Structure 1
Amino acid sequence: MQPENTTSVTVRATTIEDVPLIMKLVKALAEFEGLSDHVLATEESLKEGMFGKDKYAEAIVAEIDGKAVGFIVFFHNYSTFVGRPGLYIEDIFVYPEYRGKGVGKKLMAHCGKIAKERNCGRLEWSVLDWNPARKFYEHMGGEHQKEWLLYRLDEKGIKELAERK
């Protein structure tokens, strides 16, 4: 049996003042995934998307001793089959040196509380097939949806689709 972790992790909603922090965490996640060249977001676009007139996403941050060590970005979707909203986790990231200290568990639990409070029927996320965090997600009760495949259009694809007759 492993000793209980005594690190004190706090989780909080972000504010507009946290935009530079969110940007830093997004870049750290992209670096971890080897996708730094895919980051097109700017502080301004994050500010608009998370705190502007139309809020498209929300973020929560985990801290240890007042230092940000991880975050989750999430947004609502809707299931016609369930007939209720769902919560989709777009990003979850914990700095490598803080993994194993309960940070991810706190972030996921907080997201679960939000989903419950908002009467969500599902909490979903995607993970890269090589990511060792898959074991963590399964430990948290997540189930790999083998029958569903993720499809995506990028900005160019959206433009081409919109221009079809």
Structure 2
Amino acid sequence: MTENIAIRLARPGDEGEVLRLIKALAVYERCPDAVAATAESLRATLFGPAPQVFAFLAGPEAAPVGLALWFQTYSTWTGRPSLYLEDLFVDDSARGQGVARALLRRLAQEALARDCARIDWAVLDWNTEAMAFYRRIGARAQSGWQPWRIEGAALSALAAG
């Protein structure tokens, strides 16, 4: 089934569809009001003069049903770049049809084309359905490392010294 799913790199003009899918992901992840991104901010980060963030869209040209948003990182241990999958989302209407697998296959192809050693991502601890899917494709949870973050007032305070 995944061979028939169209996957393409997002391009200028796709900002609205990317934002729609990001908002749907936020609803799925139980944080419907968390999205601060706008079509304008997505245009700047995805399609500006030196984009550092990229997105693959799956499904029909006019109304994509899947999104893989990613960027390149680096592993000092492997001495090679890595890809970080920030978001993977498939609309309810298209789940179970191979869309997520097709997006991850395209991301794996991109990783190999860029000589990346790996693809990394995070999964919410309650999302057992996603974890089961990731295990089925051969991924494994990491242990020993905890995700950490600094943002908002703490980030500003750190920058200010």
Q: Distance in 1 between matches of 2:8 and 2:34?
A: 27
**Alignment partner, residue 71 of structure 1:** 67
Q: Deviation at 1:9?
A: 1.2
Partner SS state of residue 125, structure 2: coil
- Residue 148 in 1 paired to residue 136 in 2? no
Q: Distance in 1 between matches of 2:9 and 2:40?
A: 19
1:84-123 maps to which residues of 2 (within 5 A)?
Answer: 84-123=80-119
Unmatched runs of 5 consecutive residues or more in structure 2: none
Partner SS state of residue 6, structure 2: strand
- Residue 48 in 1 paired to residue 47 in 2? no
Q: Deviation at 1:7?
A: 8.6
Q: Distance in 1 between matches of 2:87 and 2:61?
A: 23
Farther off after superposition, 83-92 or 63-72? 63-72
* % identity of equivalent residues: 37
Farther off after superposition, 39-48 or 148-157? 148-157
Unmatched runs of 5 consecutive residues or more in structure 1: none
Partner SS state of residue 128, structure 1: coil
Cα distance change on mapping 1:7 and 1:112 into 2, 3 Å: closer
TM-superposition CA deviations, 1:62-111 (whole Å, max 9, x none):
10586411110000000011101000000000012211101011000000
**Alignment partner, residue 132 of structure 2:** 135
What TM-score does the superposition give when structure 2 sets the normalisation length?
Answer: 0.94
Partner SS state of residue 26, structure 1: helix
- Residue 32 in 1 paired to residue 28 in 2? yes
Q: Deviation at 1:148?
A: 1.0
Aligned partner (choices 150, 156, 162) of residue 159 of structure 2: 162
Cα distance change on mapping 1:7 and 1:124 into 2, 3 Å: closer
Aligned partner (choices 68, 82, 86) of residue 78 of structure 2: 82
Q: Distance in 1 between matches of 2:32 and 2:82?
A: 29
What TM-score does the superposition give when structure 1 sets the normalisation length?
Answer: 0.92
Corresponding residue pairs, total:
160
Whose strand fraction is larger, Structure 1's or Structure 2's?
1
Partner SS state of residue 109, structure 1: helix
Which one-letter code corresponds to 1:151 in the other structure? W
Aligned partner (choices 9, 12, 15) of residue 11 of structure 2: 15
